[in-house]
């Protein structure tokens, strides 16, 4: 009985470590996406006003703003460069 309990405790702590590592990886990935999007927005050829719009959108809705920047905004910035 004690051996079974010790085994369950060992498995539980291993599972907690795996969940913590997965959570940390998700947070690091989200932060990398966020900072990468902000850096990409600032370095883009868009005009100052459009850069401000994208930065504000990325700040207000971090995940959605960053994903939309990489899916729509960056491609649009490459097709229509602004006056810098």
Per-residue pLDDT tens over the stretch 43-78: 988 888 889 999 999 999 988 999 998 898 877 776
Query: Alpha-carbon distance 40 to 73, whole Å?
Result: 10
Query: What is each CA distance from 52 to 4, 21, 27, 46, 64, in whole angstroms?
Result: 60, 35, 25, 10, 16
Q: 16-51 pLDDT, tens per residue?
A: 777 888 899 999 999 999 999 999 999 988 888 889
Query: Alpha-carbon distance 18 to 24, whole Å?
Result: 10
Enumerate the domain spans of the chain. 1-77
E strand or H helix at 55, and its extent?
A: helix 48-60
20 C-beta neighbours (distance < 10 Å), count: 10
């Amino acid at each position: 009985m004690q051996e079974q309990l010790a085994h369950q405790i060992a498995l539980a702590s291993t599972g907690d470590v795996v969940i913590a590592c997965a959570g940390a990886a998700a947070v690091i990935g989200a932060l990398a996406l966020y900072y990468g999007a902000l850096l990409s927005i600032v370095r883009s050829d868009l005009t100052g006003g459009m850069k401000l719009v994208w930065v504000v959108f990325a700040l207000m809705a971090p995940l959605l703003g960053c994903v939309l920047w990489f899916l729509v905004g960056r491609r649009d910035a490459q097709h229509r460069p602004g006056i810098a």
